[in-house]
Amino acid sequence: MPVKYNAIIIRFGSEIGTKSPRVKVRYEKSICDYIRRLLEHHSVSFEKLEYTYGRAYLFTNETSEASELLTRVFGISSFSPAISTTSDIDQIADVCVSLAKEEFIPNATFAVRCRRVGTHPYTSLDVNRIVGERILSSLKDLNLKVDLENPMYTMGIEIREDKAFIFLETIEGPGGFPIGSQGRVVCLISGGIDSPVAAWLMMRRGCIPVFLHFDLGDFGDKRTRDKVTRLVRKLSEWMFNTPLRVYIVPHGENLQEIKDKCMDNLTCVLCKRVMYRVAERIAEMEGAVAIVTGEAIGEQASQTLHNLAVIEEATKGVPVIRPLVTFEKVETERLARRIGTYEISAEEEKGCAAAPKRPSTRARMGVVLKEEQKLDIERMVEIALERAEKFEIKYGNGDN
Ligand code: ATP
Ligand code: MG
């Protein structure tokens, strides 16, 4: 008989397992709720999603459509499309033989690995042995061999009470915590490669992002605004049921004032200090507990460890979190590809025209404070907030 995948075993993030039983169950159930709504939203039909401590079993005939969606669910560490059957050992062995017949290439090596919960007339070791022998004896033509150390195929069998699930493949999930299990954060997003990745890393840990983009006006590129919108829409694929708030704040005039009045080599540091102050105010308005940026040590002149400290001094209470602080660019790019933001970020765009030729990599705090006295920073922040544009991006309202 041809095998038909009709279930998916879902394993929750290993870190969720370290929580108290009460929190663990709450987290895992909230991930299950999210999965149900995600599948319904995409019209992927399923019979049921059964939750048991540490695992969930999705019964569906549309396993490939469902798998595609599960790769983007925070809190899942891995999942396996499976064939569900009863816990009867003969039935299990029959399914395993059919699956091996369809999938194993001649001369392949394999192992059988069983996990078992419940009361059964056999142990897991019995299952491994019986199924292994049945595969060998039923598929003699294939010249298969058992290799427990380094098998080409692992026939996974999970038996839970009166049901069994048989699978060959384990697909990695993103891990992390359920959506909204941590606080809100203000994410500074620029249109480049780094900032969407930084936001995603926070989202994965359960934070809800509020996006903040500074429109550089004549110093920027007209295309950036649209890029930012599309990036947020891409990120919404990972949080489909949460409308993502976006603030766009005019920053061109402020930048002009900094250029006109202050030392050229401090432009970037002064510009960022204004950004951080605006971010802090928005954090207060939004009840957000942190500011998030895509900064990484030494990536730009304004991002030397020294300058990061000087920039951060502008905030008074809200912590600044930089998830990419130690990332190599290639690592960030790899992650951006996986998240789906890379292509949008990589679209051509001209850099900030206000950036000086020789930016300071070691701005002196005293000098920065003195330069800021030439500016009416309070007013800059107030005007930025007054003119801020605010809107929400909801998953599905566009091309995703
Ligand atoms: P990215 O690759 O994220 O665009 P970058 O490498 O161009 O960043 P910077 O311009 O120094 O580096 O920006 C560092 C961080 O500051 C960004 O990751 C982002 O969080 C924030 N940032 C920079 N420009 C803007 C902007 N126009 N609006 C909002 N945030 C910004
Ligand atoms: Mg960067």
Domains of the chain and CATH, by start: 7-172 (3.30.2130.30), 184-393 (3.40.50.620)
Q: What is the pLDDT of residues 313-362, one digit of tens each?
A: 999 889 999 999 999 999 999 999 999 999 999 999 999 999 999 999 99
Among all ligands shown, which has an atom nearest to the Cα of 345?
1
Among all ligands shown, which has an atom nearest to the Cα of 293?
1
pTM assigned to the model:
0.95
Residue bearing the CA closest to ligand 1, atom 22: 190
Per-residue pLDDT at 95 exceeds 80: yes
Q: What is the pLDDT of residues 30-87, one digit of tens each?
A: 999 999 999 999 999 999 999 998 899 999 999 999 999 999 999 999 999 999 999 9
- Residue 183 Cα to ligand 1 midpoint, Å, equals 22
Residue bearing the CA closest to ligand 1, atom 31: 190
Ligand 1 atom nearest to CA at 187 = 20
Ligand 1 atom nearest to CA at 249 = 28
Average pLDDT over every residue of 135-154: 97
- Residue 294 Cα to ligand 2 midpoint, Å, equals 6
Can you give the pLDDT at residue 143?
97
- Residue 195 Cα to ligand 1 midpoint, Å, equals 6
Could you tell me if 224 and 251 are in contact, meaning their C-beta atoms sit under 8 angstroms apart?
no
Per-residue pLDDT at 364 exceeds 60: yes
SS3 of 118-176: the string is CCCCCCHHHHHHHHHHHHHHHCHHHCCEECCCCCCEEEEEEEECCEEEEECCCEECCCC
Give the integer Cα–Cα distance in Å for 339 and 72.
9
Can you give the pLDDT at residue 399?
55
- Residue 218 Cα to ligand 1 midpoint, Å, equals 17
Given pLDDT bands bounded at 50, 70 and 90, which one contains residue 301?
A: confident
Q: Which of 195, 235, 157 is nearest to 393 (CA)?
A: 235
Average pLDDT over every residue of 116-128: 97
Ligand 1 shell residues, CB under 6 Å:
188-190, 192-195, 212-214, 216, 293-295, 299-300, 302-303
* 198 Cα distance to chain centroid: 10
Can you give the pLDDT at residue 159?
98
pLDDT, averaged across the chain: 96
Can you give the pLDDT at residue 200?
98
Per-residue pLDDT at 366 exceeds 80: yes
For a ligand 1 pocket test, name from 194, 197, 339 the mutation site with the most ligand atoms within 8 angstroms of its C-beta. Answer: 194
Among all ligands shown, which has an atom nearest to the Cα of 272?
1
Among all ligands shown, which has an atom nearest to the Cα of 195?
1
Give the integer Cα–Cα distance in Å for 77 and 114.
19
Could you tell me if 333 and 193 are in contact, meaning their C-beta atoms sit under 8 angstroms apart?
yes
Per-residue pLDDT at 197 exceeds 60: yes
